[in-house]
Chains A and B, each alone.
Chain A
């Protein structure tokens, strides 16, 4: 069964410092991996994805993530955090063996609240 784990409920970081939000996954085939951000009372905004190719993926707002197959991880990173980055971050996975069918569901992690202090 597919699953995603975000081991940290909350990450605190000072503005200007690098940030990392952790994510590990478990799928039966090759994964499609996603990161989304959610601001209070809003839907999810797409940040970046890994489908295939380079392990380092660059996304919106200066975020990037590194796909590590041996560690089954897809950690979200940013070199210099901003106060405006404070939000709830979700990692998600989809098994691409089912790609193209109506059963393509995204499986979400439990979310990590990022708090950036001024």
Chain B
């Protein structure tokens, strides 16, 4: 089945620094990956849609300069939280689905998430 690898699983950083989170599709190609943010005991909030070879599409209210997304290849998308602050502390999850499948058989495959803590 489709597997999405997300790293790191946990990261603690100082306020003002930047953090990069990687999302890789291990056994399939994905032109589109999605980045979500999840607050404690809450649902997933879609932040942006990452498109291979083009600019990401951000949801309303998400700062594109704050959350930089790069989708350099069909198997890798990265989310960089720039100049992180404590309010950016959250659980970030990526997802993707196979290019050929388009979600019909596998739905969307999710990474295991990244717990970001900004101190």
Inter-subunit contact A106/B113 (CB<8 Å): no
A49 at the interface (CB under 8 A from B): yes
Residue numbers in A under 8 Å from B104 (CB-CB): 51, 99
- Which residues from chain A sit less than 8 Å from chain B, CB to CB? 32, 34, 36, 41-46, 49, 51, 90, 94, 99-100, 102-106, 108-111, 113
A48 to chain B, nearest CB (A): 9
Inter-subunit contact A49/B107 (CB<8 Å): yes
Inter-subunit contact A106/B42 (CB<8 Å): no
Residue numbers in B under 8 Å from A99 (CB-CB): 102-104
B25 at the interface (CB under 8 A from A): no
Contact mask for chain B residues 59-95; partner A; CB cutoff 8 A; 1 contact, 0 none: 0000000000000000000000000000000010101
Interface residues contributed by chain B, number (CB under 8 Å): 29
Taking A36-B110, A45-B110 as contacts, is the C-beta distance between A108 and B44 under 8 angstroms? Answer: yes
In the assembly, what is the distance between CA of A109 and CA of B103, in Å? 18
In the assembly, what is the distance between CA of A9 and CA of B67, in Å? 30
The listed residue (A32, A36, A42, A113) touching B103 by CB distance below 8 A is: A32
In the assembly, what is the distance between CA of A106 and CA of B108, in Å? 8
Taking A43-B93, A44-B93, A110-B42 as contacts, is the C-beta distance between A102 and B110 under 8 angstroms? Answer: no
Residue numbers in A under 8 Å from B91 (CB-CB): 41
The listed residue (B43, B49, B102, B106) touching A109 by CB distance below 8 A is: B43
In the assembly, what is the distance between CA of A36 and CA of B93, in Å? 14
B80 to chain A, nearest CB (A): 19
Residue numbers in A under 8 Å from B109 (CB-CB): 46
